[in-house]
Structure 1
Amino acid sequence: MLARLEESGYAEVKERHREPISQFPLINAVVSKVQKGLVYVDPVSKSSFIATKAGFSLFVGDESANDNGNFFEGLKDCLDLPNYVHIYSPPRSLAAYFEESSTYSRIRRRSQFRRYDPTVLREYESLLPAGFRVTRIQDVQFDRLENAFKLDFGGRYWNSREEFFQGAIGACILNEQNDPVAVCYSACVIEGVAEMDTLVLPEYRGRRFMRIVSEPFFNMVAAKCLTPHWDTFVSNKASYVLAQRFNLQLVREYDLLSVVLR
């Protein structure tokens, strides 16, 4: 049976499973108590299930000691978890269990990239259309960012709008009316790594805005001596092209198991 762990026990979980946790910055941010999340443990096997508020999660522990059916039922009973969770690099037996069950689930392949090259990028300045400009996210009113992108900046990953503005790194493209149209920001910053998230409004896609808004983000991260972390679907060919352009290094590929709990 899964039991929710108090924050005082997070350090022990992190120490016991340091390697897999370090591969996923959002998970690391939870057990490091940088961002709010949820940790459940099996008192018998000492296995743990770590989840962000947005549902990105990681199972760590002894796979052989878990009954996948009971584990899933235990997750459904954890009502603090979102209804839809995404499990990083799930154990093979757990993935197989969901493939054979009637529960809605799907597995997709993802890639992680990191940029270790601190070279300042300047091309975005010449690629910006006339009347558009790039600015820091902190120079745009929070409500304008939220109304434009609907990303729940102060709740999805960060603990509050204040922490988002104080701790997040990000760039935003503004149009001729000074309305936000594209953003690239850090979903978390933990142990020298900044996990990036990017969104371009639908009506502005196909204009290289993802590339344009990513360049100043990389510059901001490099200026703080941090390493940007880009996690994307393998099927997203555009991301691979950009990864090559930005001299990002492929760190690993893994499966992402998405499951409807209830």
Structure 2
Amino acid sequence: MVRLSPAQYAAACELYLGHGAYFPLIAAVLNNAQDGAIYADCVEQPAQVYVEHAFGFAQVFGRTVPAFEQALQRYLLVDKQFLSAKVRLYTPCIPAFLQRSECHELRSWRQHFQLDPSGTASTGAAVGTPARDASLVAADASHVDLIEQAFGVVGRFWRTREDFANHSNAVLALVEGQAAALCYAAAVAGDRAEIDVLTLPAYRHLGLAKAAVRMFNQRCLAQNVMPLWDCFTNNTASMGLCQSVGFLPLGEPYPFFTINR
């Protein structure tokens, strides 16, 4: 298992584009737009690749190379020298060692979604008016401090505050001038955006998240960027919200592994 340098990412990126299960957070590392680590079975023409975002989201893709999977098993389950405190592993394709019974406790289920751009719930002219005199703002650099103070996410995925302001398409919901909810892209890659949405506890059940997501979708579609959504199947609030604003499932739920240090 060889760690690639950024100058060696191109072949791994090409392999990923033909893989099928596409996650912008993974593609952003492969594009060297966000920080992370990439490991492959070889440098020149990799057959199997493991990508790990600095925040911990990760994916394995390519055809099975036994020696590579053996080294990856040691890295994930024995040495555990992750970039973050835990690995959050997307596994539409599951390495053999994670299919063993002793790994079942690491597994949960997630569902991948893509926006239906023709759906009126996502693209109607009216974003929707949330309750309690709330307002929606297309966030820019002037809102970064407020977003960071309220949600602490500015540096979670993006390298710099400027990257967040310029590329996340963030929509901020304000109530009486106070930050209440946020919808933004954790990553944008290959003309697809990975949605993250948060509402502070005091402002939940007011329609703020739904209105912010709808405006976020409109911002993305105006730039020919397709919003994607991914969440745990037992997160009923997230599952319900995304479908209520026009997202459709991409295939069946898939296994997701959380591996702590």
The answer to whether the superposition gives a TM-score over 0.5 is yes
Q: Does 1:94 align with 2:97?
A: yes
Q: Report what 1:82 is aligned to.
A: 84
Q: Residue 229 of structure 1 aligns to a residue in which SS?
A: strand
Map 1:58-207 to 2 at 5 A: 58-63=59-64, 65-66=66-67, 70-75=71-76, 77=79, 79=81, 81-89=83-91, 91=94, 93-97=96-100, 99-100=101-102, 106-117=106-117, 120-126=123-129, 128-138=130-140, 140-151=142-153, 153=154, 155-176=155-176, 178-207=177-206
Structure 1: 5+ residue stretches without partners? none
Q: CA RMSD in A?
A: 2.5
Q: In the alignment, is the contact (CA less than 8 A) between 1:54 and 1:156 conserved in 2?
A: yes
Task: Tell me whether 199-208 or 41-50 shows the greater mean CA deviation.
Answer: 41-50
Change in 2 beyond 3 A, CA 1:37/1:70:
closer
1:68 deviates by 5.5
Q: Residue 94 and residue 209 in structure 1: after superposition, are their counterparts in 2 closer, same or farther (change >3 A)? A: farther
Aligned residues: 253
Alpha-carbon deviation of 1:130? 3.7
Is 1:41 equivalent to 2:40 in the alignment?
yes
| TM-score, normalised via structure 1 length | 0.86
Moved more, 20-29 or 251-260: 20-29
Q: How far apart in 2 are the matches of 1:107 and 1:245?
A: 27
Q: For residues 47 and 258 of structure 2, what CA distance do their matches in structure 1 show? A: 23
Paired position in structure 2 for 1:209? 208
Q: Which letter maps to 1:190?
A: A
Amino acid at match of 2:75: G
Q: For residue 228 of structure 1, give the secondary structure of its aligned residue in structure 2.
A: strand
The letter of the residue matching 2:94 is: P
Residue number in structure 1 paired with 2:7: 8
Kept in 2: contact 1:14–1:21 (CA 8 A) = no
> 2:55 touches 2:84 (CA, 8 Å); kept in 1?
yes
Q: Deviations over 1:45-97 (max 9, x none)?
A: 85321011111001123435147664332346574622310111152523234
Q: What TM-score, normalized by structure 2, do the two folds share?
A: 0.86
- State, as a whole percentage, how many aligned pairs show the same letter: 26
Cα distance, 1:71–1:241 mapped onto 2, change above 3 Å: closer
Q: Secondary structure at the match of 1:156?
A: helix
Preserved CA contact (<8 Å) 1:22 1:28: no
Measured at CA, do residues 226 and 62 of structure 1 come closer, stay the same or move farther in structure 2, by a change above 3 Å? closer
Unpaired segments ≥5 residues, structure 2: none
Distance 2:143 2:225 in 1: 25
2:249: which partner in 1? 250
CA distance in 2 between counterparts of 1:199 and 1:20 reads 30
Separation in structure 2 between the aligned mates of residue 5 and residue 51 of structure 1, nearest angstrom: 12
Q: Secondary structure at the match of 2:229?
A: strand
Match of 1:53 in 2: 54
Distance 1:13 1:69 in 2: 19
**1:124 touches 1:215 (CA, 8 Å); kept in 2?**
yes
Paired residue secondary structure (1:256) = strand
